[in-house]
Structure 1
Amino acid sequence: MRKQIIYLFFLLFYSLQSCQSLSVSSDIPVVQNNKKVGFINQAADVKCESCYALRMVKANGKDLTFKVPVSLNNINNKNIFQEDYELLPEQSANGLSVRYNSLTTSDSYIFKIKKIKNNMVLTKVSKVSSTVYHHKIAKDDYADYPATSICEKEVNYILPDNQEINLNQYFISGDKNCFMCPSKYSVEECLEKKKTNAKFNWQ
């Protein structure tokens, strides 16, 4: 029995040590003006006007570096570095999709990236967000419905090696193709209906 207790204690100690090592090794630096000013989820006493973290995404044997905006949020009377977006990469047969999901709003920004002639090329940028659609039922008669706003823009940007990809760099232009879709449809269903010019059922 004593040996079992010692063995269990050893396993617990080893697990705690492993967790600590993982925590230390997974510290993500926060950068501002090309200088490290702290780490994600740690307290800081600095002005954070243009802070960001760098996230690496592998695609077709290349490393792509994405900037993720960072803010200082007051938690338990401490200013804590937190990322403003969750970065979600997804590789498929059609290429790489990288989604910036806002952690404070319903907005999602999506990069579509393909490998073309040994270059990593940004082929489409999209923005998806929740909103309310003021739908006209009849003359002087309107109804508000929950909706999804979808904006897309076809682009052709070669992403240079070793260049940091900035969210705002590709989403500052207003000449995107936008439309409203009832929120009862998925984004994929909205895009399919838009492609076939099918009418949306708002009621």
Structure 2
Amino acid sequence: MDAAQEDRHWGALSELPGHPMMWVLILTEVVTFGLLLATFTVTGAVQPGVFAAGRAQLDSALGGVNTLVLITSGCLAALAVEACMIECRRSARLLLAGAAALGCVFTAIKVAEYAAKVEAGIGLETDTFFTLYFLITGFHLLHVVLGIVIIAAVALHDSLENLKTGTAFWHMVDLVWVVMYPLIYLVG
């Protein structure tokens, strides 16, 4: 199949940056996270006292730091694509390394946050708030780790399409967190 046929095959998806299959995955993940966050919101409305008590036990400052870490990481990933577009491959790889390193920082902070909860006797079965908290943030953390792997892979195989494809996934991970952070940590 030549490029023109492939563009017709994917329709509107072929207009998006990166490979269209990544956008199918991103759409699926956004819907999944949307359903999880809708469940969290509705359950919070049904059990406001449980959710207020749960939020009071979270460290919103750590969540805020993680928000800044992911936004900065996403910026570095976007700059890597720009560097690749002007054929500065070394700069693109360094920027991707920085994005992945910040993904590791996010992971370390999140694991430390989980460890503090476990040490305080809070776990998946503590109450409805923490069941949903661990499931949703854990699912997101899994995506961060997968995103780090994807960023590393596209740094090694750094064609422009690969970078656009990998960073599209990374931006989805960022965007989901930007919605999750206030909803889970602050709203209530």
Greater helix percent: which structure? Answer: 2
Structure of higher CA gyration radius: 1
Greater strand percent: which structure? Answer: 1
TM-score (norm 2): 0.28
The structure showing larger relative contact order (alpha-carbon pairs under 8 Å, at least 6 residues apart) is: 2
TM-score (norm 1): 0.27
